[in-house]
């Protein structure tokens, strides 16, 4: 299995090289040169002694890794990430489905160690990095820009790993206390939380600038675990496969996906390309609505600044993974993608070609949900304790609608535990959800964090001083 850049100017690489690199050297994102075949239906019946989720995960991983992983290697990695054992982070189902109404389900993706859907992918990336780096006898400096949840999930997955140093860039005063502590209170010497005086898009721009500096990127052995990393997409596609095949529905399953960076929505498309029974994917955004505007108006145009909302992990104006779906929508024309993103870099927007827009509207719908509707959604689904308690991001997905409606069966992705946003939840329903027992000591742990300006030179200096991968 070979991987190519969405901008068409980088040589093809193997699966493990794509995972370790994160971003392609031409600034594009890695995608498979050809889509793998549909998963064998036996993948969903499982194997004796292996959890059903782990078995699907190893099948998906092997399909996208090709010769880079033997079957037993893929099985070892999947089991390390998801196998339910006494004291393990995951419940037996890993991502449980909860029915909340006729033809309507919630897919709970927040049962991992940092209480976020991003744990599902990060818990696979940790052992995958160990495997690949040991095979190559290398170290990595891993960069992570976060709007709240990616950083905590990366810290839980990569803390205390000998061959990795993790640097998390988080926006000042734009994450919840619980989110921040998952990044700053790990107790691990190889995890470095850096608070940037700016918003998420500023953090993401700093990461991209460091990758664009070839000399620095090479000397620091840079890699990224944001959703630009192909392993994140592969791992997230697993729960679409599992849930779509679990429901007793004769037709395709439709999804509402709370999204800012488009990674989770694109993961659903990846599962669909591998013939998972998936219908429409509804992109549910908050007031930072670049994705919903793009689908409605046919123009991908960033706002001057992101808006601060009650669903901060989605306060994003540049959806990195949109480049991947645009590449598919343009019949994999990397040169055209490159021209459009050059235009985006210069002017902050571009018109989506008509055939590509038709492709997007075939597979996706979109809606933008403001804070008032988010709170109303949380209240409506709680129903005085008789209903479902949702975090503000999940509430955006529950509130989102499309015209025409995407219909049943309808699964909304629950992306974070309500306890990650206790103030917002209490404001909405009058109850502050407690932290789960496995992390009830979170506020007793010592925080370690470095504050700095929105200045790439200053961030580089911190990494140069602390990274063990520096050459």
What are the catalytic residues?
Answer: 118
Q: Tell the residue number behind the tokens 């489905």, with chain if given.
A: 97
From the list 45, 54, 91, 53, the residue with the least C-alpha distance to 75 is: 54
Give the neighbor-by-neighbor strand order of the sheet with 278-285.
97-101, 104-108, 410-414, 253-258, 278-285, 364-368
- Residue 144 has which token pair? 């992570």
Q: DSSP string of 309-341?
A: -SSGGG--SS-TTHHHHHHHHTTT-HHHHHHHH
Is residue 30 a contact partner of residue 4, using CB atoms and an 8 Å limit?
yes
- Residue 160 has which token pair? 């205390």
Is residue 414 a contact partner of residue 258, using CB atoms and an 8 Å limit?
no
Cβ-count burial 336-358 (b if 16+ within 10 Å, e if not): bbbebbeebeeeebbebbeebbe
Q: Peptide bond before 233: cis, by omega within 30 degrees of 0? A: no
Its sign, for the CA torsion 442, 167, 225, 180, is positive
């Amino acid at each position: 299995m070979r991987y190519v850049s969405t901008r068409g100017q980088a040589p093809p690489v193997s699966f493990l090289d794509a995972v370790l690199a994160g971003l392609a050297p031409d600034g594009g994102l890695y995608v498979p040169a050809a889509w793998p075949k549909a998963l064998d239906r036996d993948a969903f019946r499982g194997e004796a002694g292996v959890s059903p989720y782990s078995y699907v995960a190893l099948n998906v991983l092997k399909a996208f890794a090709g010769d880079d992983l033997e079957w037993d290697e893929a099985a070892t990695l999947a089991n390390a990430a998801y196998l339910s054992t006494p004291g393990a982070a995951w419940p037996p189902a890993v991502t449980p489905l909860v029915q909340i109404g006729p033809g309507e389900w919630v897919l709970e993706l927040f049962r991992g160690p940092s209480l976020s859907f991003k744990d599902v992918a990060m818990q696979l990336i940790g052992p995958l990095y160990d495997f690949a780096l040991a095979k190559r006898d290398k170290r990595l400096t891993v960069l992570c820009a976060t709007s709240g949840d990616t950083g905590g999930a990366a810290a839980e997955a990569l803390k205390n790993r000998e061959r990795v140093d993790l640097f998390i860039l988080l926006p000042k005063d734009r994450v919840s206390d619980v989110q921040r502590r998952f990044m700053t209170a790990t107790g691990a010497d190889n995890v470095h939380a850096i608070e940037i005086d700016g918003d998420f898009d500023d953090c993401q721009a700093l990461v991209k600038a460091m990758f664009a500096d070839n000399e620095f990127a090479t000397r620091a052995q840079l890699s990224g675990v944001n959703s630009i990393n192909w392993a994140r997409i592969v791992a997230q596609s697993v729960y679409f496969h599992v849930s779509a095949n679990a429901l007793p529905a004769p037709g395709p399953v439709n999804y509402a996906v709370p999204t800012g960076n488009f990674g989770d929505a694109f993961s659903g498309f990846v599962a669909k390309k591998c013939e998972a029974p998936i219908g429409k994917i509804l992109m549910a955004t908050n007031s930072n609505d670049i994705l919903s505007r793009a689908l409605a108006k046919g123009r991908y145009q960033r706002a001057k600044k992101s808006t601060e909302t009650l669903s901060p992990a989605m306060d994003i104006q540049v959806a990195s993974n949109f480049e991947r779906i645009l590449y598919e929508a343009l019949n994999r024309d990397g040169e055209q993608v490159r021209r459009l993103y050059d235009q985006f870099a210069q002017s902050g927007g571009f018109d989506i070609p008509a055939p590509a827009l038709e492709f997007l509207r075939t597979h996706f719908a979109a809606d933008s949900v403001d804070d008032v509707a988010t709170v109303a959604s949380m209240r409506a689904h709680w129903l005085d304790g008789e209903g479902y308690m949702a975090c503000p991001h999940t509430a955006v997905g529950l509130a989102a609608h499309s015209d025409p409606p995407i219909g049943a069966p309808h699964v909304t992705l629950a992306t974070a535990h309500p306890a990650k946003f206790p103030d917002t939840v209490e404001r909405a329903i009058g109850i502050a959800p407690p932290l789960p027992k496995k992390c009830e000591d979170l506020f007793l742990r010592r925080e370690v964090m470095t504050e700095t300006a929105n200045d790439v030179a200053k961030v580089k200096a911190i990494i140069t001083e602390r990274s063990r991968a520096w050459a």
